[in-house]
Structure 1
């Protein structure tokens, strides 16, 4: 009985305490409810925005990998424009710069004017990626290395050295950092400087197609007219 009585007293005491507290906060009940509802609304909004952001990021990466598989500069450019400000968008711009760098370096041996146009586009895109990439990220390293390669291809060796040096100093243990150091060492070599000085003076010309067709070789238009056997008329002893 004593135990039951003690339990009842404790229960009554707790009820009195709760009642007292409720009376104290009752004047502020509307404000409390408002705060609770606001917190719930913010939580729901955060979950919605987070979920939406994840979905948008997933769509951006899907578009990026699709364009990369096609190796199409136009598609990559569209991905960059469609997902402007997102990481996938900047990776797309990085790939556009890579493609233009590759095209420009190939054209250096055939058409300097077109080569320089491609290299200028590559340089502009690399600089844009570098300015927006997260500090220390792989994307930033790629953009710096690509920019250095572009400057080297354009014959701007001093600026190329600065970019290689910056990358080698910032990420000395990374594969790109080590490669940048090797390129820097090579450009510091006097023989390399002499080669670039000589190469800059060269004036390669685009290949000219043979007269009469758009093909390098003027082949017969109707291959069905070709004989099915060699011409041995010059060797009468063989024709008997």
Structure 2
């Protein structure tokens, strides 16, 4: 077939399709509308996904980092108030609630794990900064919430070994808070023996914690030290040569002075007048 003939056939087919297009579009209106809408939805979904992964994710990460920094400021303020005798530990409880909400709305599991880890720390620190001795039930309730937060870290932080190690270490601290020292040591030893956590902060902290716990294993006794008094220096006495000592005498006394003469014994003395007082 010649090229000119093929061109004529294509031109005639295109002209025929364009001539019948209005009729074809009317008969296929619903499929055309549905297909067009589907294409539009796909394009919008792709664009929104790209926007969410860039702008929204960056915005959330910025807000998340700022929120964590704010919690550290709260801890410092509570610690400073505690040194002045003021009890502002309730602010730590409010911060723990905010961190829980932040974790639930996190854009990734790792960020959620970070928020849960900080939430657990806030709950434990509230007990330490509270003035006086909190009620045992209050302490138990807070520690249970802290344990729940640490377990949430283990669920969401599997991609980050450091977060996982800190969560295991935190569970050991919770056991210590409740006086369960044997259980705490067992949790630390499990973390230490796991080679998957080599080089992580949580494992290093567990090693130091186990070493410090050994100092308080059993009753504490202090050695009795016998105090031996130092000998007094000897008293040195020397013989005294009396010939070298000059005797001490009183002042020299001159000749006795003559007694003063009374007026009557003096030759030129004028006798005192005899005065008679008559009434």
Q: Report TM bin, short chain.
A: 0.5 to 0.7
Please give the per-residue CA displacement for 1:63-117, whole angstroms capped at 9, x wherever unaligned.
3222223223332222122227632222112111110011124459611332222
- In the alignment of these two chains, the number of paired residues is 158
Q: 1:172 to 1:88 in 2, by over 3 A?
A: closer
Once the two structures are superposed, the pairs formed by residues 101-180 of structure 1 within 5 Å of their partners are 101-107=124-130, 110-113=133-136, 114-168=138-192, 169=194, 170-180=196-206
Matched residue, 1:67 = 67
User: 2: CA distance between counterparts of 1:87 and 1:176?
Assistant: 16
Larger radius of gyration: 2
CA RMSD of aligned residues (A): 3.5
Please give the per-residue CA displacement for 1:14-69, whole angstroms capped at 9, x wherever unaligned.
xxxxxxxxxxxxxxxxxxxxxxxxxxx99996675355234443233223222223
- Asked if structure 1 preserves the Cα contact closer than 8 Å seen for 2:117 and 2:153, the reply is yes
Q: Where does the alignment leave 5 or more consecutive residues of structure 2 unmatched? A: 1-40, 72-94, 220-279
Q: Where does the alignment leave 5 or more consecutive residues of structure 1 unmatched? A: 1-40, 196-240
Please give the per-residue CA displacement for 1:163-203, whole angstroms capped at 9, x wherever unaligned.
3223323323334322211212333x2x52447xxxxxxxx
- Asked if structure 1 preserves the Cα contact closer than 8 Å seen for 2:154 and 2:164, the reply is yes
After superposing on structure 2, the runs of 4+ consecutive aligned residues of structure 1 that deviate more than 6 Å are 41-47
User: 1: CA distance between counterparts of 2:131 and 2:189?
Assistant: 25
TM-score by length of 2: 0.46
Please give the per-residue CA displacement for 1:115-155, whole angstroms capped at 9, x wherever unaligned.
22221211111111112212552221221222211111111
User: 2: CA distance between counterparts of 1:161 and 1:171?
Assistant: 17
1:86 aligns with 2:112: no
TM-score by length of 1: 0.53
